[in-house]
Amino acid sequence: MNFKEKYGDYALITGGNAGIGAEFASQIAEKGLNLVLVARREDLLETKAIELTEKYNIKVKTIIADLSKIEEIKKTVNACNNIEVGLLILNAGMETHGIFPKLDLDKEIMSINLNITSSMALSHHFVNKMIPKKRGGIIFVSSLLGHMPTPYLSNYAGTKSYLLNFGNSLNGELKKFNIDVTVLSPGPTKTPMAESMAKGFIVPLDKLPMALHQPNFVAKVGLDALGKKPVVIPGIKNSILGKVGSRMPTNMAIKSGASMMEKFMNPEDLKL
The model's confidence at residue 210, banded by pLDDT at 50, 70 and 90, is confident
CB neighbours of 237 closer than 8 A, spacing ≥ 6? Answer: 210, 211
Q: Taking residues 188-200, what's their average pLDDT?
A: 75
> From the CA atom positions of the chain, what is the Rg in Å?
18
Q: What is the pLDDT of residues 161-174, one digit of tens each?
A: 999 999 999 999 99
What is residue 130's predicted lDDT score, i.e. its pLDDT? 97
- The pLDDT tens digits for 251-264 are 999 999 999 888 88
Is pLDDT at 198 greater than 70 in this prediction? no
Question: What pLDDT band is residue 83 in, cutting at 50, 70 and 90?
Answer: very high
What pLDDT does residue 111 have?
Answer: 97
- Distance, in Å, from the CA atom of 271 to the CA atom of 173, rounded to the nearest integer, reads 43
Q: Is the pLDDT of residue 203 over 70?
A: no
Residue 206 reports pLDDT greater than 80: no
Q: Would you say residue 239 has pLDDT above 90?
A: yes
Nearest CA-CA partner of 88 in 24, 142, 160, 40: 24
* Active-site annotation holder among 10, 160, 162, 190: 160
Higher-pLDDT residue of 18 and 220 is 220
Contact 188, 212 (CB under 8 A): yes
Comparison of pLDDT for 185 and 241, the residue scoring more: 185
Answer yes or no: 56 catalytic.
Answer: no
DSSP letter string, 60-116: EEEEE--TTSHHHHHHHHHHTTT--EEEEEE-------S-GGGS-HHHHHHHHIIII
Q: Which amino acid is at 138?
A: I
Among 53-67, 74-88, 186-200, the least confident range: 186-200
**Chain center to CA of 233:** 12
| 7 flagged as catalytic | no
Whole-angstrom distance, CA of residue 136 vs CA of residue 85: 8
CA distance 24 to 16: 7
> Which has more pLDDT, 190 or 164?
164
Q: How many CA atoms lie within 13 A of 139 on its CB side?
A: 34
Q: What is the mean pLDDT of residues 78-101?
A: 95
The catalytic position among 152, 156, 162, 190 is 156
For residue 191, what is the enclosing H or E element?
A: none
* Predicted local confidence at residue 267, as pLDDT: 87
Q: How confident is the model at residue 202 (pLDDT cuts 50, 70, 90)?
A: low
Nearest CA-CA partner of 86 in 141, 52, 128: 128
